[in-house]
């Protein structure tokens, strides 16, 4: 299979032709021996950061569904792609803003999901130089501080010169934040030129069966799970369930089903089991409220071993709720 990691080539007998050929076929960099440790570490660090910015294999907007809602969304995005103005995506948490942003990316062009937002306040124009002809995606524009907002305002004004498409997403009412002096009014005006609402999963539940299959196929292709089919009753249960966490929550559920189901097929019983687990994830929040009200949250009269088990259960239920059921995020949060 193809490598999914950045490659740095090192050689003690390299020539310029070798270096050019190495980078042509996909190497991030070419280093000639002997190599100073500081230069090697700097190159490896840069390669890792570059790798994090590459488009991931994921469920694409094309596979998001065939409903009229999704067809209209694709048409709107195709229309927005022709505009020079930045695009503001508005929708609930987990509704697929990144998928929409990636839909605008042309083949073999740079992509940057701006997680290091401090760069906006330090050198915003350097970002444009880095992703010339590409797409820059800001996952939650309301999370930027005022200095970073000023940097984004400058960046979006210069983006056309670098042929960079700026896409910002938010789950917040930016008008209200601006009225409360928490969001830059000039930036709000710039982002309001082209806005698009992303539908929630409840707006197109008929797409859930196809989405579930696409997510399952991805897990098989990436060798994160073995192949399992869904029976009709299981797909119907998924379609009829509530998904307040939208695509992100559905993805976590499919991942759970594919990795923990025992049979060759995913059944209604499997789906009910996972949905019950998701329902339990809401309990830590309720327990937290009970604690705030002075109610009991833990039975300290238990023997030590049972108390430890009970604590671990509540602890991981809380972490699962915070991560919307994403086990990878839980492992990172608890440092396992």
Mean pLDDT of 134-147: 94
Q: What is the pLDDT of residue 335?
A: 77
What CA–CA distance (Å, rounded) separates 137 from 167?
Answer: 5
Task: Say if residues 70 and 207 touch (Cβ distance below 8 Å).
Answer: yes
pLDDT (tens digit per residue) in 226-274: 889 999 999 999 999 999 989 989 999 999 999 888 888 999 999 999 9
pLDDT, the chain, mean: 83
What are the sequence ranges of the domains in the chain? 8-52, 61-199, 202-280, 283-334
Q: May I ask the CATH class of domain 61-199?
A: alpha beta
Domains 61-199 and 202-280 in one fold: no
**Class (C level, CATH) for 202-280:** mainly alpha
Each residue of 53-90: pLDDT tens digit?
Answer: 544 445 566 667 789 999 999 999 999 988 889 999 99
64: closest CA among 53, 56, 72, 52? 72
What confidence score (pLDDT) does residue 308 get? 80
pLDDT winner (highest mean) among 25-34, 40-49, 282-291:
40-49
pLDDT at 294 > cutoff 50? no
- Going by pLDDT thresholds of 50, 70 and 90, the confidence category of residue 324 is low
pLDDT band at 290 (very low <50, low <70, confident <90, very high): very low
Question: pTM for the whole thing?
Answer: 0.66
Q: Three-class SS string for the chain?
A: CCCCCCCEEEECCCCHHHHHHHHHCCCCEEEECCCCHHHHHHHHHHHHHHHHCCCCCCCCHHHHCCCHHHHHHHHHHHHHHCCCCCEEEECCCCCCHHHHHHHCCCCCCCEEECCCCHHHHHCHHHHHHHCCCCEEEECCHHHCCHHHHHHHHHHHHHHHHHCCEEEEEECCCHHHHHHCCCCCHHHHHHHCCCEEECCCHHHCHHHHHHHHHHHHHHHHHCCCCCCCEECHHHHHHHHHCCCCCHHHHHHHHHHHHHHHCCCCEECHHHHHHHHHHHHHCCHHHHHHHHHHCCCCCCCCCCCHHHHHHHHHHHHHHHHHHHCCCCHHHHHHHHCC
- How many Å apart are CA 5 and CA 26, to the nearest integer? 11
pLDDT at 29: 74
Percent of the chain with pLDDT over 70: 81
- Ranges 37-41, 100-104, 299-303, 310-314: which has the least confidence: 299-303
Tell me which of 7-16, 194-203, 213-222 is least confident: 7-16
pLDDT band at 22 (very low <50, low <70, confident <90, very high): low
To 5 degrees, how large is the angle CA 54–CA 70–CA 197? Answer: 80
Look at residues 196, 130, 138 and name the one whose alpha carbon lies nearest to residue 166. 138
Q: Is the pLDDT of residue 285 over 70?
A: no
Q: Tell which wins on pLDDT, 249 or 22.
A: 249
Query: Average pLDDT in the 33-59 region?
Result: 68
Tell how far CA 154 is from the center of its chain. Answer: 26
Mean pLDDT of the region 33-56: 70
């Amino acid at each position: 299979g193809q490598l999914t990691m950045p490659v740095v080539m090192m050689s003690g007998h390299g020539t310029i032709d070798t270096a050019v050929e190495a980078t042509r076929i996909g190497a991030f960099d070419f280093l000639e021996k002997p190599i100073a440790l500081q230069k090697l570490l700097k190159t490896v660090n840069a390669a890792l950061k570059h790798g994090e910015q590459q488009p991931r294999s994921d469920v694409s907007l094309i596979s998001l569904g065939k409903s009229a809602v999704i067809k209209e969304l694709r048409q709107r995005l195709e229309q927005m792609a022709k505009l020079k103005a930045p695009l503001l995506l508005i929708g609930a948490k987990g509704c697929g803003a990144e998928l929409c942003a990636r839909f605008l990316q042309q083949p073999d062009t740079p992509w940057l999901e701006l997680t290091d937002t401090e760069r906006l306040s330090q050198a915003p124009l350097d970002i444009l130089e880095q992703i010339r002809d590409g797409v820059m995606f800001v996952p939650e524009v309301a999370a930027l501080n005022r200095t970073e907002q000023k940097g984004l305002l400058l960046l979006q004004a210069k983006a056309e010169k670098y042929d960079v498409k700026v896409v910002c997403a938010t789950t917040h009412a930016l008008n209200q934040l601006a009225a409360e002096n928490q969001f830059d009014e000039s930036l709000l005006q710039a982002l309001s030129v082209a806005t698009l609402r992303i539908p929630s999963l409840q707006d197109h539940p008929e797409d859930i069966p196809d989405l579930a299959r696409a997510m399952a196929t991805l897990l098989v292709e990436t060798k994160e799970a073995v192949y399992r089919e869904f029976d009709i009753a299981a797909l119907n249960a998924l379609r009829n369930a509530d998904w307040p966490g939208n695509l992100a929550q559905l993805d976590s559920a499919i991942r759970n089903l594919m990795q923990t189901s025992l049979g060759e097929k995913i059944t209604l019983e499997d789906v009910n089991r996972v949905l019950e687990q998701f329902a339990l994830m809401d309990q830590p929040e309720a327990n937290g409220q009970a604690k705030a009200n002075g109610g009991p949250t833990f039975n300290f009269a238990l023997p030590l071993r049972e108390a430890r088990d009970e604590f671990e259960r509540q602890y991981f239920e809380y972490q699962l709720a915070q991560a919307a059921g994403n086990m990878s995020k839980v492992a990172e949060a608890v440092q396992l």
